[in-house]
Amino acid sequence: MTISELVRTDGALPMTESFEAVSLGQLHDQASQVDDELLPCRVNNPELWFAESPVDVESAKALCQECPVRSLCLDGALERREPWGVWGGQLFLQGVVIARKRPRGRPRKNEVAA
């Protein structure tokens, strides 16, 4: 598993340079001003954002890309050091962003007959 530090490329200030942390309450307040149909975490299964399957995790990350509160969600997750899950289109594990989720265990040497 590769753990990396997220570097913002969207022009937003890094959290170390912002003036206040983004709380879950602030995120909720901002999201409540947007139509729920535009918020993928509200119209899809919430467990998708905390999935074990790498395919599901990538699906959640892709759904976040067009979310109108994605930047606020990501900033808050970085500040709170979210322990796990997809936040703002990034996967968090133990408070840091990781590039991708790997499946458990090693792959089989031989394919299993179904």
Domain ranges of the chain: 24-98
**Rounded mean pLDDT of 2-17?**
45
Stronger pLDDT, 64 or 26, i.e. the higher one: 64
SS3 49: helix
pLDDT higher at 28 or 65: 65
SS3 for 77?
Answer: helix
Question: Is residue 107 scored above 70 in pLDDT?
Answer: no
Query: What per-residue confidence (pLDDT) applies to 108?
Result: 63
Mean pLDDT throughout 52-70?
Answer: 93
* Reported confidence tier of residue 100, pLDDT bands at 50, 70, 90: confident
Q: What angle in degrees, to the nearest 10, is found between the helix axes of 24-32 and 70-80?
A: 170
Q: Using CA atoms, how far apart are residues 34 and 40, in angstroms rounded to an integer?
A: 11
Structure token pair of residue 36: 């729920």
Helix (H) or strand (E) holding 3: strand 3-4
